Structure 1
C-alpha cells in the first residue's frame, strides 16, 4: 500500500533530507520511502497537503496519563498539594476500569493534538489488574506508546515478578513497548535502585526516573555505577551543573516539563543548562490536572522562559526537542522523530491557512510561537491515518467521554473532593 502526501511545506527534522518549501512524502507499507519536491506515484492514495505543513509527530517523554479525568482540578496546586491530592486522596479510589478510561482518553487527547509517540509514566499500579487496564488502553488507541511501569513512591517492595509479567505480555506488541519507571534515589534505597536497574538491563528496558530536589543524587548514582545512556531523568531542576555534565558524559537524557515545573514551584526549567552541559533536552506534559495536554503549550513555555533567561534558544531547537530528540530519548530514534526515508511514517499535517497563524511566514517559528491543537488536521502513525479532516478515526469519542465523566464523578464522591478548583489539599491530610 502506498500513500503520497503532496503539495505541503515539509519540515523533516533531518538535516540530511532537509526541508522543502513545497514537496511530497511517499509512504510504502507504513514506511517513508521518499521525500522530494515532486514524486510521481500514480498508484498511491493521495493526501492533499496544500496549505499545510507536513512534519513528524510530536514525542511526549513523560505523562501520568491515568489522571486525565481530573483535568484542570489542580490548576492552582503546588507540587506538594498535587502529591497529596492525586497519590494520597484520588489514587486509592481508582478501579482498573477508571485507569483504563483515564489512559484511553488521555492518550486520545495526545494523539488528537499531534503527539504520535508518548511515554506513559504509570504510577497507579495498585494491582496487576490496574496495570493491565493501563496497557489495554494504550493498545486501544492507534498511537505509538511506551508503557513506563512504575512501582510507586517511597517503597522498596520487590517488583521483579510483576515487571517480568508485564514485559512478557508486551513482547512483539508493535506500537506499545515498555520502559521501567524507576523509584529512584530520592524515593527508595540505593540498593533498590541498583536492583531495579539490573532488572531493566536484563529485560532490555530503558528507564525513566524523577529527580526533583536539590542534593547530589546524580553523583550518588555515578558513585554506585548506575548512570546509563538508557535512562531519562525527569525535571532535574535542583541538579547542579556538574551533575548535569555527569549525565552528559553517561549519555543520559533529560525530560523538561516546563509548565508543571513553573506552576507547581518545582523550579526553573533546566532547558538551557542541559544544552550547556552537552545534552539535548526533551519535552513532556507531566500531568493534566495542572496543565494542558498538548505539545504546543509546552514548546511555547520552554521557548519563552529560556529566551527570557539568556536569549540563546531558537524555535528550531525547541521543535527538535519535541520530535527527534524525544524519539531518541525513548529509544525510538531509528523508527520515528523525523521524516527520514526508512523510518515509520509518524506524520502530522498542520494547517497553515488558519487565521491564527496566517500568513505562515516562518514555519518552525510559527509552530513554536503560535501553534495550537486546533491546527492538527491529519495524523498518521506507522502510515495509518488515525485523524482525518480534524476527526479521530474509528473511536466513539462521545461514548468514551460519557464513561469518563461517570468514572470521575464516582471517584470524586468517594474521595470527598471538589472538582471546581476550590479544594486545597495540604500535606499530611
Structure 2
C-alpha cells in the first residue's frame, strides 16, 4: 500500500517515478480526475467532468467525483482537468513487418504495384531480425499515436524464427498485440504455417498477446494454400483462434463469401478486411452471420482498391459496425486519427453526392460513429470485445489522456469532435496498456530512440541492397540506394 499522492504538489516526474516503482503491484490504484470522459460504453456514455479509477491492470470505476466515494484513498491521483480520457484506439489490420520501409512508395497507384514491389520484391529477403525491427517500430509508432491494440497481419512468416521475431517485437513494445500469421505470397519458405500456430500460442500467449490465423480471400494472388476455406477454418477451430481474411474485394471475393456461407464458415470469429466492391448478396450473408469487418479507409481510397470507396455504408446497411485499420505504412499514414477523418469525410461526401439533385436526405455518419469504430468496434473485430475497447469497469485499463488545451484544440467545446477532428499524436499525452504507463507527458517510455533509428536504417539498407541484388545482380536499384 502506498500513500495518496496529490497532483497539486507533485511534479509529473515524481508521479512517473511513483508509477514506475509501483508497476508490479497488482493492487496499485491510479485515479484520473477532472477530465471529460468518453467511455465508448453505450450505458455509461460521456461524462462532462469525471474520474476513472484503475486497480492493477483493470478499470475499477468510472463516474463523477469518485473522490467523494473514497477512490483517492491509497491511490496515485493524477489531475487531468482540461483533457479528454478515451479508450485506446484499436487497429484491426496492419502489416507491421514493413515499418522500416515507411512511405517508400507514397504514390503507389494500385494493388499490383504494391504486391510487386513489397511482397514479391522486398519480403523474400527479410531475415528474422528484420521482422523484429519492423514489427517493433510499427508497434511503438502505434502506441505513440494512441493505438493500444494492434492486429499484426504478419504475412511474411517464412520460418518459425521469422514468426518468433515478430511476436517478440510485440511483447517487447508493450502493446496489446494480436499476432495473425500467414505464409508469404512469394519466395522460399519453410511451409511451417499454419501448423506452427499452436507452438506460437503455447510459447507466447499471455495477458497482452493473443493470436489469430491470417488468410487471403481467394487464390488469385498467391495460390490456394493461403486462401480461406474449410481447411484453414478447421485449423483455426482446432487452435481456438479467430481468422482474419485480407484482400476481400470484388466479384471473386463476393463468390467466396457465398461459398463460405454455404459451407458454414461465416460468423463472429471471422473478420473480412477491406470488403470493397462486394455484391449485395455477399453483404446479406455477412450481416446475417454476424461476421465482422475491418475497413482500411485511407488504403482503399489512396491505393484504389477495387471501388476505392470504404464500405462503411454497405456494412451499416446489414447491421455490421466495422473496425478500422492502418494497412501498409509503405504508402500510408500510421495513425488512427487519419483513418477516422478519412472515413468521416469520404462517407459524408458520398452521402451528399448520392442525394445531390434529388429530394432525398443524405444519411451521414458522425464523429461519434467513427470514434466507436476506432475503439469498441475494433476490439470486437479483433475478438477482444470483452477485454478492451471501452472504459467499462472490469475491462483492461487501455486508455488515453488527450490534451485539449494545446493550440490546435483549445478551447474544448465538443470532446468527441476534438478527438476525431482536432487531435493528433502531439495531444496523446498519456497511454496506459493493461494499467502500465507506456507514454507519459507526450513521451514514449523505455525507448532508446537513437538505437532504434540505427536499427531501422540498418535493416532498411540490408533489405534494399539485397532485394536490388536479387533483381539485378551486382547493382543497387536506382532510386532505392541506401542513405
TM-score range, shorter chain: over 0.9
Q: Which residue does the alignment assign to 1:52? A: 83
Q: Deviations over 1:105-138 (max 9, x none)?
A: 1000001100000100001111111111001100
Q: Normalization by structure 1: what TM-score?
A: 0.94
Q: Given the alignment, which residue of 192, 195, 199 partners 1:165?
A: 199
Shift of 1:24: 0.6
Q: C-alpha root-mean-square deviation of aligned residues, in Å?
A: 2.1
Change (3 A) 1:160 1:79: closer
Map residues 212-227 of structure 1 onto 2, 5 A cutoff.
212-215=249-252, 216-227=255-266
Shift of 1:25: 0.2
Determine whether 1:9 maps to 2:36.
yes
Give yes or no for contact 2:326–2:335 (8 Å, CA) kept in 1. yes
Determine whether 1:176 maps to 2:209.
yes
In 1, Cα distance between the equivalents of 2:198 and 2:263? 24
Q: Normalization by structure 2: what TM-score?
A: 0.84
Shift of 1:163: 2.1
3-state SS, counterpart of residue 327 of structure 2: coil
Change (3 A) 1:160 1:117: closer
Map residues 279-294 of structure 1 onto 2, 5 A cutoff.
279-294=320-335
The aligned length equals 422
Determine whether 1:43 maps to 2:74.
yes
Change (3 A) 1:305 1:418: farther
Q: Given the alignment, which residue of 209, 214, 236 partners 2:245?
A: 209
Determine whether 1:238 maps to 2:269.
no
Which structure 2 residue ranges, 5 or more long, are not aligned? Answer: 1-27, 352-362, 469-475
Change (3 A) 1:135 1:419: farther
Q: Which residue does the alignment assign to 1:123? A: 155
Q: Deviations over 1:28-86 (max 9, x none)?
A: 11211111111121311122211110010000000000000111111111221110111
Q: Given the alignment, which residue of 313, 318, 322 partners 2:374?
A: 322
Shift of 1:405: 0.7
In 2, Cα distance between the equivalents of 1:128 and 1:272? 40
Q: Given the alignment, which residue of 38, 43, 52 partners 1:25?
A: 52
Determine whether 1:352 maps to 2:393.
no
Q: Which residue does the alignment assign to 1:107? A: 139
Give yes or no for contact 2:182–2:194 (8 Å, CA) kept in 1. no
Shift of 1:278: 1.1
Give yes or no for contact 1:59–1:116 (8 Å, CA) kept in 2. yes
Larger relative contact order, structure 1 or 2 (CA cutoff 8 Å, min sep 6): 1
Q: Which residue does the alignment assign to 1:295? A: 336
Map residues 63-82 of structure 1 onto 2, 5 A cutoff.
63-77=94-108, 78-82=110-114
Q: Given the alignment, which residue of 127, 131, 134 partners 1:95?
A: 127
Determine whether 1:140 maps to 2:172.
yes
Determine whether 1:251 maps to 2:278.
no
Structure 1 stretches of 4+ moved >2 Å: 152-161, 183-193, 212-215, 416-422
Q: Deviations over 1:119-166 (max 9, x none)?
A: 000011111111110011001011101000112338996734322222
In 1, Cα distance between the equivalents of 2:125 and 2:192? 23
Give yes or no for contact 1:235–1:256 (8 Å, CA) kept in 2. yes
Shift of 1:386: 0.9
Give yes or no for contact 1:3–1:44 (8 Å, CA) kept in 2. yes
Change (3 A) 1:420 1:68: farther
Determine whether 1:153 maps to 2:192.
no
In 2, Cα distance between the equivalents of 1:200 and 1:378? 36
**Bigger mean CA deviation after superposition, 382-391 or 154-163:** 154-163
Determine whether 1:270 maps to 2:311.
yes
Q: Deviations over 1:205-240 (max 9, x none)?
A: 010002133232211211222212201000010211
Q: Of the two, which has the highest radius of gyration?
A: 2
Give yes or no for contact 2:120–2:185 (8 Å, CA) kept in 1. no
Which structure 1 residue ranges, 5 or more long, are not aligned? Answer: 423-429
Give yes or no for contact 1:30–1:382 (8 Å, CA) kept in 2. yes
In 1, Cα distance between the equivalents of 2:36 and 2:479? 42
3-state SS, counterpart of residue 325 of structure 1: helix
In 2, Cα distance between the equivalents of 1:362 and 1:419? 49
